Amino acid sequence: MEGGPEGEKRLRTEGLWLKCDSCGQIIWKKALDDNLQVCPRCEHHFRLDARTRLEMLFDGGSYDELDAALISTDPLHFHDSKSYADRLSSMQEATSMSDAIICASGALEGRPVNLCAMELKFIGGSMGAVVGEKITRAVERSLAQRVPLIIVSASGGARMQEGAISLMQLAKISAALMRLDQARLPYISVLTDPTTGGVTASFAMLGDLNIAEPGAQIGFAGPRVIEQTIRQKLPEGFQRSEFLLDHGFLDAVVKRSELKHYIAEALNFFCD
């Protein structure tokens, strides 16, 4: 630590500013908070944590969290560089969450909805039995209450530490969503940076509307794996929202500032 007024000044301003990943602009953190974590210069969308996402989408930022206590049982007693049980407990401590998703109910522009938001910071937003069960319960609540469902994805895919059990969640959630479809209740999928692997391969692409934030990475396998497999250079912007929209994989790319109203309008269209 440096002494003198110069050192004090440096110490006090530390952490108040950050550099935009995309354009390099130095941004005041408070300005970024006020702008929904979007760069005021280039509109780069920074990643949002699940709680901020829910606060942004629910009216008045208030909602009822559901199934918050569900935790993984570590069915395989899995070990990699450390035990899965230890990994889970340190993640639970760091994020104050039981697993990689928050499911909630509340109102969006006055309409009751069920809304789930994934948390990338919790083991890469990976989907294990808890994420699968919580989403399935959210679908079942939507069925029972006859209200729309919205899922905001941010995930690296299936949770490797739960092996085949994590893969079974793809089928489980997909089957639940089919019942929602048969009941003619809308499901809107919002894909955010990044949405990959088994999440893209299941519920993230099964919405009545699949919409993404600008510049989000969305795909199944990573670009390096694809390049090595097909032995071709991938085109510019591959696996980004705008590229996927151009190629018919998405219905819309919607700016964060317009997302809530866009969803509300879509639900008006589906429901009224």
The stretch among 14-22, 62-70, 163-171, 184-192 that binds Zn ion (CB under 5 A) is 14-22
Question: Whole-number minimum distance, CB 241 to Zn ion, in Å?
Answer: 16
Please spell the DSSP secondary structure of 169-226, one letter per residue: HHHHHHHHHHHHHHTT--EEEEEEEEE-HHHHTTGGG-SSEEEE-TT-BB-SS-HHHH
Pick the closer one to Zn ion by CB: 27 or 120: 27
Q: How many residues bind Zn ion (CB under 5 A)?
A: 8
Question: How many Cβ atoms sit within 10 Å of the Cβ of residue 75?
Answer: 15
Pick the closer one to Zn ion by CB: 40 or 75: 40
Distance CA 169, CA 76 (A): 16
Pick the closer one to Zn ion by CB: 35 or 95: 35
84 sits in which H/E element: helix 84-95
Question: Whole-number minimum distance, CB 173 to Zn ion, in Å?
Answer: 35
Question: Whole-number minimum distance, CB 191 to Zn ion, in Å?
Answer: 21
Pick the closer one to Zn ion by CB: 109 or 242: 242
Amino acid residing at 237: G
Question: Whole-number minimum distance, CB 42 to Zn ion, in Å?
Answer: 3
Give the footprint of Zn ion on residues 19-48 (CB under 5 A). 20, 22-23, 25, 39, 41-42, 44
Task: List 237's β-bridge partners, or say none.
Answer: none
Question: Whole-number minimum distance, CB 27 to Zn ion, in Å?
Answer: 7
26 sits in which H/E element: strand 26-28
Question: Per rule CB under 5 A, is residue 71 in the interface with Zn ion?
Answer: no
Pick the closer one to Zn ion by CB: 42 or 171: 42
Pick the closer one to Zn ion by CB: 24 or 61: 24
Question: Whole-number minimum distance, CB 43 to Zn ion, in Å?
Answer: 7
Q: What CA dihedral angle connects 18, 21, 25 and 26, to 10 degrees?
A: 10
Helices 129-145 and 163-182 meet at what angle, rounded to 10?
A: 10
x-marked contacts with Zn ion along 168-197 as a string, rule CB under 5 A: ------------------------------
Give the footprint of Zn ion on residues 149-168 (CB under 5 A). none
DSSP state of 158: B
Question: Whole-number minimum distance, CB 24 to Zn ion, in Å?
Answer: 7
Please spell the DSSP secondary structure of 58-72, one letter per residue: SGGG--EEESTT---
Distance CA 83, CA 239 (A): 33
Can you give the binding site for Zn ion, defined by CB under 5 A?
A: 20, 22-23, 25, 39, 41-42, 44
